[in-house]
A and B are shown apart, each in its own frame.
Chain A
Amino acid sequence: MTKSNSLGDFEQLVMLALLRIGSDAYGMIVRREIEERTGREVSLGAIYATLDRLENKSMVSSTLGGTGRQRRGRAKRFFLVETPGLEALRRSLDALDRMRSGIAGLETEEGVEV
């Protein structure tokens, strides 16, 4: 695997959040999804910087969406995982699974979260 298509820890979290949210994924929702599921406090700037990096690697795509009074007229940018991103995520998670398999206390049963 080359460096350009491997995913870092935070990139994996962002990609997984995008997949969980689906077509309504934009910065604020992604940030909240990660915070609620991992308990890890993340800044919106870190989310956008990561999404920008992933978009540069063609792993995600983005489109500008609706504004609204609650955003004082500022547009939302919706993000979607693209096929190369999905493949890279699968490879990263597979590698992680292979690395931890056989290590006592780190293995998970099928469908059971750690």
Chain B
Amino acid sequence: MKPTADHNVGFGVDFPGPFAHLVLVSLLPTDRREELVGDLIEEAETIVVPQCGRRAARRWFWRQALVSASPLYARRSTRKVTMNRWKWMTLVLVLIAGPLMALDPSVLSASPPVIALVSFAILIPASAGLLSGNLRVLAGTAVFSGALLLAARLTSGIEIRWYAMAFIFFIVLKGGWWLERRLSSAKG
């Protein structure tokens, strides 16, 4: 490739920038994300920029980030879920609170779309609780499913007390797990 004027200049200290960071966070799974992005920035800056210039290096960076996402997601989907006591407690909670919520008379007498909505709203935090260790994912799913149930409550009058109780226990369990991980990583 023909050398350009921006060769050897490198990227600014804010590269890839806050918006790009947001895109990368959304695009790549959490596993190894920081190391992967660090590697891409380093390779782009130390090897691709001197050879091809900044513009080409930016294109290279984003192409690499895009093609890197699918193998990581594929790996995540085939990885065994490692259970720990927090996940077991979450599973027990879901197994108890889910049927209680779903079998509530007000839910059983509701229309099929409302029952489907309630089932969906229970399954979202259940799967997030079992599969994800990310507090932001937990908060996002819990708020989303809470909003779904609230909408169902307002439109069809179903009871959501079981969900509310389960939600509080769920947050306590997940918070405990998150805190334990933070403390152990601080010690390690």
Q: B-contacting residues of A (Cβ < 8 Å)? A: 26-28, 31-32, 43-46, 48-49, 52-53, 56, 64, 67-72, 74-77
Q: Are A72 and B67 in contact (CB under 8 A)?
A: no
Pick the residue among B32, B38, B64 that contacts A71 (CB under 8 A). B38
- A sample of 30 cross-chain residue pairs with beta-carbon separation below 8 angstroms, ordered by A number, consists of A28-B40, A28-B42, A28-B43, A31-B39, A31-B43, A32-B47, A43-B68, A45-B28, A45-B67, A45-B69, A48-B32, A48-B36, A48-B75, A49-B71, A49-B72, A53-B75, A64-B35, A70-B41, A70-B42, A71-B38, A71-B41, A72-B13, A72-B15, A74-B35, A74-B37, A75-B38, A76-B35, A76-B38, A76-B39, A77-B32
Q: Are B42 and A45 in contact (CB under 8 A)?
A: no
Instruction: Give chain A nearest CB distance to B58 CB in angstroms.
Output: 15
Report A-chain residues with C-beta under 8 Å of the C-beta of B43. Answer: 28, 31-32
Report A-chain residues with C-beta under 8 Å of the C-beta of B34. Answer: 74-75
Q: Are A52 and B36 in contact (CB under 8 A)?
A: no
B30, CB-defined interface residue at 8 Å: no
Find the residue from A45, A48, A67 having the highest chain B CB count within 10 A.
A45
Number of A-B residue pairs, CB cutoff 8 Å, is: 80
> By DSSP majority rule, is chain B's interface helix, strand, loop, or mixed?
helix
* A70 vs B12: C-alpha distance when bound (angstroms): 10
* A99 vs B44: C-alpha distance when bound (angstroms): 41
Report A-chain residues with C-beta under 8 Å of the C-beta of B68. Answer: 43-46, 48
Q: Are A52 and B42 in contact (CB under 8 A)?
A: no
B79, CB-defined interface residue at 8 Å: yes
B180, CB-defined interface residue at 8 Å: no
**What is the 8 Å Cβ interface bit string for chain B, positions 11-24, against chain A (1 contact, 0 not)?**
00101000000000
Report B-chain residues with C-beta under 8 Å of the C-beta of A72. Answer: 13, 15, 38, 41
4 further A-B pairs in the complex, CB-CB below 8 A; given A45-B67, A52-B32, A69-B13: A26-B35, A45-B71, A49-B72, A71-B38
**Whose C-beta in chain A lies nearest to the C-beta of B63?**
A43
